A = this chain, B = another copy of it.
Amino acid sequence: MTSTPSPQDFAHRLDRTAEAIETLLGTILSDTVLTNEIARPRRLLEAMRYGSLNGGKRLRPFLVVESAALFDVAPAGALLAGAALECIHCYSLIHDDLPAMDNSDLRRGRPTTHKAYDDATAILAGDALLTIAFDLTTRDEVHPDAGVRLALTQALARASGIGGMAGGQMLDLAGEGRFGDREPPDVARLQQMKTGALLRFGCQAGAILGRASTSDYQALDDYGRAFGEAFQIADDLLDVEGDAAALGKPAGQDAALGKATFVTLLGLDGAKQRLRDLLTAADQALAPFGARADVLRAAARFVAERKN
């Protein structure tokens, strides 16, 4: 039994994984690793690096690593699976920022990929990051068992595609009314797909890598689902109550765009109550793992209480 981690312990572990992912992605997206009889087009590789090596929190890989750690999975395999997941996340940001999509010029205080390069390069960099994710999940280093790597690959494809993240982005665009008749979106369903699916996959991935029992898989899946919704509600609350300086972007953007959020759906107090309920649900889902899951508990509190 490990003792309950302090916030400092949690922050330290999060930072450690973020550094490991940054290093790993830097190695993967380099000439030395992408060996191929045909040399790589340099501009594309540079844009892929620009769009992914950005010092992010790497929350999704963190979920993979810490969920897998419950089953004593070798960290190297979990990190590689986490890197694949992060490639999907980064591709989605590059494509979402495009002029045809959300038309964002800045992300994390620096120009978005299509501003730093151009639209065509950004589209291709997103495509190539999406594609390389499935190269990574199939590699021997992820797990010795081919069946495990296959299950992981398939789960990642499903979390990312029309039934997951890509579908959620479509619903989000439709909710803006840009395709004619404006149907008020089902915010919960939209966010389960758009942001929830990848976070939830992070937890599923740990269970898959750990060849978890059905009940342990279910427990982590329940945790991941609560985590994903908590993440989004906290995001919506920050947009209303957040500090622009800490956010790195103006607050109130959702309201200005007339976007349906958990706050417009539930009201400010309702959203805060829902967030508390989700933290309880996340905590309860982890009960089978006892104190070993304290880092995951701290992660849920972290996303709920974060300031940016």
Contact = CB atoms under 8 A, between A and B. Distances in A.
Interface of A: 34, 36, 38-41, 43-45, 48, 91, 95, 98, 100-101, 118-121, 123-124, 126-128, 130-132, 134-135, 138-139, 146-147, 149-150, 153-154, 156-158, 160-164, 166-167, 169-171, 173-174, 178-179, 189, 192-193
Contacts of A160: 131
Contact of A173 (B34, B120, B156, B192): B120
A138 B157 contact: yes
Contacts of A121: 170, 173, 179
Nearest to A138: B154
Copies of this protein chain in the complex: 2
A170 to B, nearest CB: 4
A118 B178 CA distance: 10
Contacts of A36: 158, 163
- Interface residues of A, dominant DSSP: helix
B167 A128 contact: yes
A48 B161 CA distance: 11
A124 B169 contact: yes
B44 A166 contact: yes
Given A40-B167, A41-B167, A43-B179, 4 more contacts: A34-B162, A100-B118, A120-B173, A135-B161
A44 B121 CA distance: 23
Contacts of A38: 163-164, 167, 189, 192-193
A128 B161 CA distance: 5
B154 A135 contact: yes
Nearest to A91: B127
